[in-house]
Every structure is written in C-alpha cells, then in structure tokens.
Amino acid sequence: MRKYGVEVQLPDGKKPGDYAGFVQALANCVRLSDRDMELLIVDEDRERAILTELIEEYEFEYEPFELLKLPEKAEVTPLFEDYGFVSLSGGCYLYDHLCAVYRFAESDGLAEPVQAAAQMEEHLIARFPYEGSVHYAVDRSLGELMHGIAKAYGCRLQFAWE
C-alpha cells in the first residue's frame, strides 16, 4: 500500500546525453514499480534512497513523496484529483501528506456506522477494501471532524498509517 515517489525536475539546458545516461543508470540500480511523467515510484524507502542518490549524482532537482497506492477496487470521488493521481499504468495514488485514512473500529450494538458513513460522504476522497474492512480517505485536516461525526453516531474510528 505505501509507496515512495520522487519527482525529478529536469533542468533546461542539459545535454540530451545527460538524461539518457540517467535513464540507463536508473535501469541498472533501481526497479521502478510505476511512474507518472517525472514522478518515479518505488516500493521501498531504501530504493528511494538509492534513487535520490542517483538523481543527486546527475545534479537534477527533486522532491520526495510518500504515497498510498489504492487497491484496484477503490472508489474515488471528484475530490480525488486534488489529493492524488492516476499513473501512466492506471494505478491510483494518494499523496500521504495530504490524506488521512481510517476505518470504523468495533463498537457496541448501538452504533450506527451506516448513518455515520453517509454523513462523512461529502468529505471522502476515496473508499476501498483493505485487510477485510472498508477504509476511507479524507483530507488530513478533517480527522477531528470525522471523529466527531463517528462519536455522534456511537461509532469509533481507527486511523491508519499515522
């Protein structure tokens, strides 16, 4: 689920051979799991470290990102475009620093999770199955609001990856 991205800013004025050399070196040292234009995506943080070292060697500017790759069965809302992207291969990713992911935790028999979920709907970026339950993604700044809505319906939330 967690992926690591590095957006490479290719400078103007570099020789075409500089970029070709970078691409060849990249193929020799890191296995990309996906990409989106200049955003290179790897599976592990140590691969990101190797990638950034290579980028620095070629003196390109870059920006690292932590990403959440959504499962294929994820449903995204119109808000998704502000918090993530669809890669060249069709993978859906959220920018981790912008999003909070939660699920409903076990509650007593008086909880009303269906009603709580309906109240939260307007804030959702995505919903997806993960490890046997439905997970929801919202703007990171809305965590307290989501807790408040859940509490009003007798529910508890468990936030993931924080």
pLDDT (tens digit per residue) in 137-159: 999 999 999 999 999 999 999 99
DSSP of the chain: -EEEEEEEEPPTT--HHHHHHHHHHHHHH---SEEETTEEEESSHHHHHHHHHHHHHTT-EEEEEEEEEPPTT-EE-GGGGGTEEE-TTS-EEEEGGGEEEEEEEP--TT--HHHHHHHHGGGEEEEEEETTEEEEEEEGGGHHHHHHHHHHTT-EEEEE--
> Going edge to edge, which strands form the sheet with 39-42?
34-36, 39-42, 2-9, 61-69, 92-95, 84-86
In a domain, 38, yes or no: yes
Domain check: are 7 and 65 in the same one? yes
In angstroms, the CA 85 to CA 73 distance is 15
In angstroms, the CA 63 to CA 79 distance is 23
pLDDT beneath 50: ranges in the chain: 162
In a domain, 91, yes or no: no
Q: Which residue in 50, 84, 55 sits closest to 70, CA to CA?
A: 84
- The pLDDT assigned to 47 comes to 95
Q: How many domains does the chain have?
A: 2
- The pLDDT assigned to 22 comes to 82
In angstroms, the CA 41 to CA 87 distance is 10
In a domain, 89, yes or no: no
Q: State the CATH number of the domain containing residue 153.
A: 3.30.70
- The pLDDT assigned to 23 comes to 83
Q: Which residue in 105, 89, 90, 148 sits closest to 123, CA to CA?
A: 148
- The pLDDT assigned to 18 comes to 67
Domain check: are 64 and 106 in the same one? no
Range of the domain at 104: 78-84+97-160
In a domain, 90, yes or no: no
In a domain, 23, yes or no: yes
